[in-house]
Chain A
């Protein structure tokens, strides 16, 4: 192959591609970047097998189409440090030359067949959405996904379409965040996939223009995104997402509305005493008032009061304050609403429009 392109564009592409390429892999071929010169474009492909990115550079002069597999990090570093404005990539025997002005680097290549097949974005059946919408749904939910050992299905974000709506749900088994937003398409049908949190975060990184209209595709084994510059793929989690709909209480007896900022501040205040040997803070509510109480055997106890709107039977429910604060950080409205039935059943927080956060309570069985 032989391609002439702008150095800056090549640098950007290599940076994006190498950001997913692992330093060390049990499958050595993926430590490389895969170059594909088609008639009118140069593509840079990188993958760690969990996620893959295909970066496309349009304004290039392809003298001879072809492919090459070269060590990713060396290539990226060399191009970064080049001074010239244009770069020529051409194969010479089994090697690839990167030339710019008087400077040249010759890299050994590997048989491209050793590189895993990275899919192409399928336009048909894809769904269009605003980049900002996608990013917002990810940040509203991803914090609730599981991070450590446990059921792997919970390490991802359940992503679904229903008509003109895109919905994401994440849970770690103790709390659950669910948010939805409108798609650009009128009817996207009903699709579903569990996308690893890591893949979703890569998607957000690649979308640098929030106003851009991007396309997503729910593939058989991958979740795919296409922006003007790049295609990104994330392998789906093969597992069963917890059946969450049953835990969202359809009707509740108790309902509390509080100022989100004040509640956050009071929770942090009380949580100061509870972290060492206890987790729970107790929320005791009665008409017009909320008392937040925490106690630890080793440090002492703390109490805070705040005015609230409360409708229901006066009572107490306890939560892990870290979980509440995590959710409140993402609260989009001034007031937060908490609804629940009893002290052992889930607490439902409404953090914004189409944004629900469920937290399981802590019980103390003395």
Chain B
């Protein structure tokens, strides 16, 4: 069985089995790496963010490998890759702007309830305290 990459079938390029197996092994290794790195969470001052960056970075690399080799993008017409990248870009746009907005209006939030809601809550708990104590103060 020929196994070089230029193998062509009746309707298109065929990916050699050996390449597929090597790719899978690489992906499994990357998985192990990312699990191991996640357990190291005391190296860095900004540990939370490093953790996220590394985990996401490895995920992106794995995704790219799956897309290029398993999903055949490496040998397909470039427009298809454009479709895939485009969809990811739009997700990024959505997440980016929604995040930006929500971070921007956090400082304007006033903790606590509005007076009307507060009134209702008071009335509710007063009634409960007066009647049965089904939802009494939580024991701590």
The yes or no verdict on A and B being binding partners is no
Residues of A within 8 A of B (CB): none
Residues of B within 8 A of A (CB): none
